[in-house]
Amino acid sequence: MVWGAVQLRFATVAASVVLGLLYVGCDSFVEVEMPAGQLASPQIFDEAGTADAAMTEVYAKMRDDGMLSGNPAGFSYTLGLYADELDFYAGSEQGGFGYYSNSLLAQSTGISSLWNVSYRQIYGANAVIYGVTNSATLAQGDRERMKGEALFVRALLHSMLSGVFGSVPYIATTDYQQNMSAVKLPAADVLLRAKLDLEEAAALLPEQYMVTDRTRPNRFAAEALLARICLYLGEWEEASSHASAVIGASSMYGMDTDFGEAFLIGSPGTIFQFSPGFSGTNTLEAQTFTFVSGPPTSIALSQGLLDAFEPGDLRRAQWVREVAGGSGSWYHASKYSETASAVTQTEFSKVLRLGETYLIRAEARARLGLVQGAGEDLNVIRHFAGLGDTPAASSEQLLLAVLQERRVELFTEFGHRFFDLKRYGQLDAVLGSIKPGWDAHDSLFPLPESELLLNPNLNPQNSGF
C-alpha cells in the first residue's frame, strides 16, 4: 500500500504505544484512505529517545517479516528455493512450492504480501525522515543521524524490491495523494535513486556506531551498501572506492581470527545486523534452516551447492550440517545454529558483513582489469576459509572465480545467488538446465495483480505473467 493513508496519532511518548502506530493503516500499497488528522504529531520527535524508538521499530519490522527476515517469507529462504541453493520437500500447497517450481502467479498472496510488507517498511522510514526533518527540538546531531538511518533503510528496501520486480515505484514521501498514483521507475533508475539516498546517508551518519552491537547503521554501513549498489549499476570504480572505505577502517572491521565466530554477535566482520526480538532468543534463520531428522519436512541444501565447495573448505565443514536418516543424508545451513532459548544471546542476523565487501571489490577490480588487486581480495576470503590462493590469472578467470566464491560464501543470505546469476547473465544457462519450471521471464517476479487493478500506473505487468 501507500502508507501516506496511515494515521499517526503520537499523543504519548510511551514507546510501546507509539511504535505500533507507524504501521496502522490500509492493507494495500495503493488502496488509500484520507487521513483523519495530521500525518504525525511532533511529540514523538521532540526527544531523541522516542524518535530512536520509532526507528528501532522499523528495524524490528524488517527483521520479523519481509525480504530481510530470516523466516520463510524472507529472501534467504524464498530466493534460495527460486535459484539453486535449496531443495523443497513439502507439498505443493505450501508457500515455498511456487518459488521452488518457479511457478509464481500474479494472484499469489505471497507476492502481494511481499509487496505490501516492503512498502509498509519503506513508509516507516519515510515517516521517520518526515518527523526528524520537521522537529523543532531534536538536536542537530540526532536529527542527522536518524535521517541518515532512515535513508539507508529506504535505499536498501527499494534496491531489493527492484531486484525481483524490476520496475517499481520509488516512494520517498508520506504524501498519500502522491503515493496513491505512484508510477514505476526502471530498475536502473531505482538503483540510482537508492544511490543518491545512500550518498546523503553516508554524509549524515557518524563513523562510530550508536550502539556497540552494530544494530544501527553507521557511515560505513552506508558505504558498504553503496558498494553493492554501484556494483549492480556497473560503476566499477565507485564500487571499489566505497568497498575500500569499509575495508580500510581496519580499527573497526576485520576477518575473524576464529572461523567459528563469523556469525556470532561480536564478529569484527559485522557491518550491520538485526538483534532478536526477545531476550534469550537468537535468530529466525536458525529456526528456519535447521532440522534434526530426515527426510526434511521443508527444505535442505541442494546437491549442487554442496558440490560447489572445494576440498578442505572450512565453510563446508562449519556452515553446513549433515542429518542422517534411515534412507540417506540431508544437509542444512548452519551459519546460525542456536535454535533454543538461552540466558545469553550469541547470534544476531547479519545484514551486511565484510566478506561480501571484499568480494564486491574483487569483482569491481577484475572488471577494471586490476588483476593483482582482484586476486588479493579474493585470497583474503579464500584464506579465511582455509583455502590456498586462487589459480585465476586473468580478468575473465577472476570474474568466474568471484562468482564461485560468492556462491559458497554468501549462500542462504538474502538471495545473493539469484542476483549474482542475473548480473552475470547466467540465469537461463544455470537454472534452465536444472529446474524444469524455469522460463526466461522468471528473471522477474510478477507484479501483484491486486495492485495493478488499484493503480493503473503500475502497468504493464511483467512479461510472461
Per-residue pLDDT 10s for the chain (465 aa) are 333 222 222 222 233 334 444 544 333 333 323 233 333 456 889 899 999 999 999 999 999 999 999 999 999 999 999 999 999 999 998 989 999 999 999 999 999 999 999 999 999 999 999 999 999 999 999 999 999 999 999 999 999 999 999 999 999 999 877 888 899 999 999 999 999 999 999 999 999 999 999 999 999 999 999 999 999 999 999 999 999 999 999 999 999 888 889 999 999 999 999 999 888 899 999 999 999 999 999 999 999 999 999 999 999 999 999 999 878 999 999 999 999 877 789 999 999 999 999 999 999 999 999 999 999 999 999 999 999 999 999 999 999 999 999 999 999 999 999 999 999 999 999 999 999 999 999 999 999 999 999 999 999 999 999
- Whether 433 is in a domain gets the answer no
* Domain boundary pick from 256, 285, 312: 256
- Whether 451 is in a domain gets the answer no
Per-residue confidence (pLDDT) for residue 14, from 0 to 100: 32
Quick one: 363 and 243 in the same domain? no
N-term to C-term CA, the chain:
21
Burial class (CB in 10 A: 0-12, 13-18, 19+), 400: middle
Per-residue confidence (pLDDT) for residue 13, from 0 to 100: 28
- Whether 460 is in a domain gets the answer no
- Whether 287 is in a domain gets the answer no
Quick one: 26 and 135 in the same domain? yes
Quick one: 251 and 369 in the same domain? no
* Domain boundary pick from 256, 289, 311: 256
Quick one: 251 and 121 in the same domain? yes
| Domain, as residue range, for 206 | 3-72+106-256
Per-residue confidence (pLDDT) for residue 41, from 0 to 100: 55
Return the DSSP state at 238: H
Quick one: 364 and 246 in the same domain? no
Separation CA 25–CA 36 (nearest Å):
11
Helices (H), 211-301: 219-233, 236-247, 284-289
Per-residue confidence (pLDDT) for residue 146, from 0 to 100: 97
Quick one: 371 and 234 in the same domain? no
Per-residue confidence (pLDDT) for residue 42, from 0 to 100: 61
Instruction: Look up the CATH number of the domain holding residue 235.
Output: 1.25.40.390
Per-residue confidence (pLDDT) for residue 202, from 0 to 100: 98
Quick one: 33 and 151 in the same domain? yes
* Domain boundary pick from 256, 279, 303: 256
Phi/psi for 370 (5° steps) reads -90, 75
- Whether 327 is in a domain gets the answer no
Quick one: 152 and 33 in the same domain? yes
- Whether 8 is in a domain gets the answer yes
pTM: 0.92
Quick one: 30 and 145 in the same domain? yes
Question: What DSSP assignment string belongs to 132-157?
Answer: HHT-SSS-HHHHHHHHHHHHHHHHHH
Q: What's the Cα-to-Cα distance from 100 to each of 28, 165, 335, 451, rounded to whole Å?
A: 26, 17, 22, 24
Q: What's the Cα-to-Cα distance from 231 to each of 63, 109, 228, 258, 423, rounded to whole Å?
A: 25, 32, 5, 29, 9
- Whether 373 is in a domain gets the answer yes
Structural domain count, the chain? 2
How many Cα atoms sit within 13 Å of 306 on the Cβ side? 14
- Whether 128 is in a domain gets the answer yes
Return the DSSP state at 168: B
